[in-house]
Structure 1
Amino acid sequence: MILLHFSRLTVWKDSYEKLPSFWRNVMEMFPPLYALVRRPFTTMSIWSCGLLLVILLSGGGASSASNYLIGLGSYDITGPAADVNMMGYANIEQIASGVHFRLRARAFIVAESQSQGNRVVFVNLDACMASQIVTIKVFERLKARYGNLYNEQNVAISGIHTHAGPGGYLQYLVYIVTSLGFVRQSFDVIVDGIEKSIIQAHENLRPGSISVNGGELLDAGVNRSPSAYLNNPAAERSKYKYDVDKEMTLIKFVDDDWGPVGSFNWFATHGTSMSRTNSLISGDNKGAAARFMEDWFAKKFFNEGFERIYSNLSGTVSIPRRVSSIVSNLHEKRKLLLLVQLPNMTTEFRPGKWIV
Structure 2
Amino acid sequence: MAHHHGQATAILDDDIRTVTITGPGGMTARLTNHGARLMSLTVPDRDGHPTDVVLGKDDPHEYVADDTLMGAIVGRNANRIQGARFAIAGREYRLAANEGTNSNHSQPNGYEHRNWTVAAADESSVEFALDSPDMDQGFPGRFRVTARYELISGGLALGIRGMSDSTTVANLTTHTYWNLNGEDGGDVLGHRLRIPAERYHPTDERFVPLPQPAASVDGTPMDFRDTAVIGERLHDGERHGDRQTALARGYNHAFPTEGTGLRLMAEATGERSGIRMAMYADAPTVLLYTAGFLDDVPGKQGHRYGPSAGLCLEPGFVPNAVNRTDCTRPVLPAGTEYRLDVLYRFE
**Larger Cα Rg: Structure 1 or Structure 2?**
1
Q: Name the TM tier (shorter chain).
A: under 0.3
> Normalising to structure 2: TM-score of the pair?
0.26
- Bigger relative contact order (CA 8 A; separation at least 6): 1
More helix by share: 1
Tell me the TM-score normalized by structure 1.
0.26
Structure holding more strand per residue:
2
